[in-house]
């Protein structure tokens, strides 16, 4: 069994390589989201049934584009819809003082 000695220079070189790899990883462009989603992708994203998605289309809550028999939904429109319906949390909703007698 051969014994290898690791020097400070080896560790410094390893550190430099590791830091450069991490820097490249963090500075790389994030993966772009798809611009258009199909019905099954929207259902998975929102965790809803086909009937619920149909109701959202029929009542005009969600916009879509139909090409042939395929429905497409804009990813940016879905994000806007979610943001516009966001309910802010209220920190004073639960007051444990009423539990104390």
* Residue 71, in any domain of the structure: yes
* Residue 28, in any domain of the structure: no
What pLDDT sits at residue 31?
67
Kindly report whether the global pTM for this prediction surpasses the value 0.75.
no
* Residue 86, in any domain of the structure: no
* Residue 20, in any domain of the structure: no
Per-residue pLDDT of the chain (101 residues; tens, 9 = 90+): 788 888 999 999 999 999 999 888 888 766 667 899 999 999 999 999 999 999 999 999 999 999 999 999 999 999 999 999 888 877 665 666 655 55
Task: Give, in degrees to the nearest 5, the angle at Cα 7 between 6 and 12.
Answer: 110
63, 79, 95, 96, 97 from 100: Cα distances, Å: 49, 42, 10, 7, 5
What pLDDT sits at residue 14?
93
Structural domain boundaries enclosing 65: 36-75
* Residue 47, in any domain of the structure: yes
What is the distance between the terminal CA atoms of the chain, rounded to a whole angstrom?
74
* Residue 40, in any domain of the structure: yes
3-state secondary structure of 37: strand
3-state helix, strand, coil in the chain (%, to 5): 50, 10, 40
């Amino acid at each position: 069994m051969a014994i290898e000695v690791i020097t400070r220079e080896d560790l410094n070189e390893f550190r430099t390589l590791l830091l450069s790899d991490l820097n490249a990883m963090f500075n790389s462009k994030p993966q772009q989201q798809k611009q258009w989603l199909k019905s099954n992708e929207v259902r998975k994203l929102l965790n809803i049934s086909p009937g619920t998605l149909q109701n959202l289309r029929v009542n005009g809550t969600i916009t879509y584009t139909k090409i042939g028999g395929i429905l497409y939904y804009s990813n940016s429109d879905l994000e806007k819809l979610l943001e516009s319906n966001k309910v802010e949390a209220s920190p004073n909703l639960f007051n444990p003082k009423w539990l104390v007698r």
